[in-house]
Amino acid sequence: MILPNSRLAKLTEAEAGTTMRTMEGVVLKLPSFSQLISPNHLTNRTTLNFRFGFPKSSSSSSSSSSTASLSVPAAAPVSLGHSTRPDFEILHQKIHNGSKLVYLDNAATSQKPSAVIDAVNNYYRSYNSNVHRGIHFLSARATDEYEMARKKVAAFINASESSEIVFTRNATEAINLVAYSWGISNLKPKDEIVLTIAEHHSAIVPWQLLSERTGAVLKFVSLTEDEVPDVKMLQELLSKKTKLVVVHHVSNMLASVLPIKDIAQWAHDVGARILVDACQSVPHMVVDVQNLGVDFLVASSHKMCGPTGVGFLYGKSELLASMPPFLGGGEMISEVFLDHSTYADPPSRFEAGTPAIGEAIGLGAAIDYLSEIGMQKIHDYEVELGNYLYENLHTVPGVRIYGPAPSQTVDRAALCSFNVEGLHPTDIATFLDQQHGVAIRSGHHCAQPLHRFLGINASARASLYFLQYKTRC
């Protein structure tokens, strides 16, 4: 299931209808945007056609039918998208006017496989209890499962020990934790923080607030002509004044991938620390924090097949040990007196109050699910999907895709942010949703500075995951 097939732009309406009958999918024709905007905007324009594929059902009989309709040879292996799709019940539904749901908004949040939903349900049905505070059976089991989830996260990103993983509400809170705990303790007037203009708002606003409080200066890296953050400029900005580098691993709008290991080394060479926003990389590729050499890394559960309401911060143990608490309350203390308190060791020091227990356990189940597939397998499959998406969308007249073109030396994530000449991205998203059941994102994707740099206010975005697949006529 993927956007689009450029050849369909040349099909007549009758040919397109034949195509719809000979494949397990839908061909989407977009001439009726004239209902949404002035017809003058579409003068002499080629009709846009987008194609998406769907499975008939998760049954074995449907699988054989789907294979036949896709004209895949009997000996051909089943794609990762086909093999995992039965695990996502939410995708097997019809919406609006009976259209089958096509979910292409994975960069915003991923869908959850049955194994994750079952794990969360099992917690609430079988051993719901608070953690770390009771000796009874339910509390002991909940504590074991919660801490096991922490160990799974640590292993997943190759942290040296599970105590380097702090559970937070999301990646945004994790970044704020570093800003207010490490930042306030370590930054002073005229110190510099280096960022790129392509950062998510969650990786910009906390440092703006911190700079107002500490007098630190924010330095921003712009884009190259290929619309990739300029790493040469980043390297040149680093100096002894630099105390922190804040960068994304994969851009949620440009789909570009930064050389984090190199950037971490450059930061350390001038005595600076590095924080990596890995929300768009941890769900899609192998991420090894020890190999990358990063000091802090953040990610969110809900983008990697896990529940909402939980994310995590990775921090080197010596850094976390030196940082004061972010929030005060139960769980994060060692002893409390009327005139002072002492604090627990990390990670408990940064997990005040009752945590999102069921959500953390669900994240652990998501990691089990992804690990069983294999992150390298997921990455390789998504590179193929992402290139197919870019190459076909790129051939549609009037479409402008943002970010670098894929090549043998340039990797793109499996997403495309784009605009269509004469159409507002919200109109595109609304039309696809209401007329064809296709979910894409429109707006600024929490990247307003980047959109302004590109001279636009908004864009449409189709973002894929391993549960998507290509269809053939």
One of 279, 305, 416, 446 is an active-site residue; which one?
446
Q: Which residues pair with 28 in a beta bridge?
A: 50
Render 29-66 in DSSP notation, one character per residue: E-GGGGGTS-GGGGTTPPPPEEEEE--S-SSHHHHHHH
Give strand ranges (E) for 232-352: 242-248, 273-277, 296-300, 311-315, 333-336, 341-343
> What is the 3-state secondary structure of 426-468?
HHHHHHHHHHHCEECEEECCCCHHHHHHCCCCCEEEEECCCCC
CA 386 to CA 2: how far, in whole Å?
A: 9
Amino acid at residue number 154: A
* Dihedral (CA of 234, 239, 245, 249) sign: positive
Based on the residue annotation, tell me whether 446 is a catalytic residue of this protein.
Answer: yes
H or E, element range at 328: none
Give Dmax over CA atoms of the chain in angstroms. 81
- CB 418, CB 398: distance < 8 Å: no
CA 334 to CA 325: how far, in whole Å?
A: 12
CA dist list (Å): 268 to 67, 165, 263, 280, 389? 52, 22, 9, 24, 37
Backbone angles phi, psi at 68, to 5 degrees: -65, -40
CA 433 to CA 105: how far, in whole Å?
A: 12
Nearest to residue 303, comparing CAs of 283, 327, 324, 318? Answer: 283
Catalytic residues: 446
